[in-house]
Amino acid sequence: MGQSDGLHLGVVGVGRIGVLHAATLVELDNVAGVTLADADAGRARQIAKELGTHAVASPEALIEAGVDALVIATSTAGHVPLLELAARAGLPSFCEKPVALDLSTMDALVEDVERAGILVQVGFQRRFDAGYRAAHDAVATGALGTLLTLRAATHDPAPPSPQYIASSGGIFRDLHIHDFDAIRFVTGEEVTEVYADGAVRESAWFRESGDVDTAAAVLRLSGGALAVLTGTRHDPLGYDVRLEVFGTGDSIGVGIDDRSPLRSVEPGATASGGPGYRNFLERFEAAYRSELEAFVVTVLTGGPSPCTLAEARAALVVALAADRSRAERRPVPIEEVASAQAVTG
């Protein structure tokens, strides 16, 4: 099925996010077909049946089926091998975050992708959320004046499984990498220094993976402003993602609405209008659709990637600096970990 009839897209991985992506793609304009593949072939067939589409036995079979592009929604361990497969096949690809957990792997992948000349879009969906885009525009137009500080929060309602945590790369590379990318996106600035810490407050089994279920960090930005972020794997009111931006001209907030999982105890304060967001799929449903719409249009038009591997690398560097800061209990300049040699050395 060629591009003149609309794109034929291959989706690899049909876990929670993969199913959402597949269901979204079958409804998009300019998509003529969607074929699924998963390590669990039976699950892929079942999801394909539910969506009225097709499944094949492997990612390689997707290539043989003549797909025009890949959407990679596997666990993190599958991202780099599948992008390398796409590069060898010359296929544009959308890939979920984090692309890789270390810089040497990321840098080798970047070289392969650049050599192949394929489009890669990374799934930092907050860049496509209406609130984050409005915050980006407010900063870019100067409406906020001089940036003073930012407050970011990402709180899961409940932790993922111990098996997931064990291979996730830790709270900064898994959970907060979205915050690091969003802060860079909204401000247009780089993070230059990180001071981070974490603790196990509720689920003792996080210690088995050397991880924490609660984290905090202070980031210094290239323009001089400071950002503070908090994160936890336990929030009794729901999935809580916010970004507050304070400047000399205005103060704005993203993620503050009648479903925000935060309860005021001030006298006379009105209660929220509904239950908190249950999970990231519900909170960012529109953003997930928008990022895939952008990917399809970019493949068809040959335009630049809306979110490049370079952006993913920059967020990973901040996460690695946060990891080092937590381990060594000190502020870590980004330049300390900006190269693979610096991290391994």
With tokens 């970019």, the residue in question is: 298
3-state secondary structure of 112: helix
The answer to whether the Cα torsion of 179, 180, 183, 188 is positive or negative is negative
Quickly count: other Cβ atoms within 10 Å of residue 228's Cβ.
14
Cis peptide before 98 (omega within 30 of 0): yes
pLDDT of residue 1: 39
Residues β-bridged to residue 194:
219, 332
pLDDT of residue 118: 98
- What is the DSSP secondary-structure string of 99-166? S-SSHHHHHHHHHHHHHHT--EEE--GGGGSHHHHHHHHHHHTTTT-SEEEEEEEEE-SS---HHHHH
Position 105, amino acid: T
- Report residues of the chain scoring pLDDT below 70: 1-4, 340-345
pLDDT of residue 242: 97
- Sheet of 93-95, strand order: 54-55, 31-37, 7-12, 69-72, 93-95, 120-122
Quickly count: other Cβ atoms within 10 Å of residue 158's Cβ.
14
CA–CA dist 105, 307 (Å, integer): 19
Dihedral of the alpha carbons of 40, 42, 45, 50, in degrees to the nearest 10: -100
With tokens 């330049």, the residue in question is: 335
Domains and CATH numbers, the chain: 3-126+287-314 (3.40.50.720), 130-277+332-336 (3.30.360.10)
Give residue-wise pLDDT tens across range 205-224.
999 999 999 999 999 999 99
pLDDT of residue 343: 59
3-state secondary structure of 98: coil
With tokens 């979110």, the residue in question is: 307
Query: 217, 138, 219, 134: which is closest to 184 by C-alpha?
Result: 219
pLDDT of residue 340: 61
Give residue-wise pLDDT tens across range 164-201.
999 999 999 999 999 999 999 999 999 999 999 999 99
pLDDT of residue 198: 98
User: Are the C-beta atoms of 220 and 191 separated by less than 8 Å?
Assistant: yes
Q: What mean pLDDT, rounded, does the chain reach?
A: 95
pLDDT of residue 270: 81
3-state secondary structure of 56: coil
pLDDT of residue 5: 76
Q: Which residues contact 125 (CB under 8 A, 6 or more apart)?
A: 284, 287, 288, 290, 291
With tokens 């999801």, the residue in question is: 47
pLDDT of residue 336: 96
**Residue 253 phi, psi (nearest 5):** -135, 145
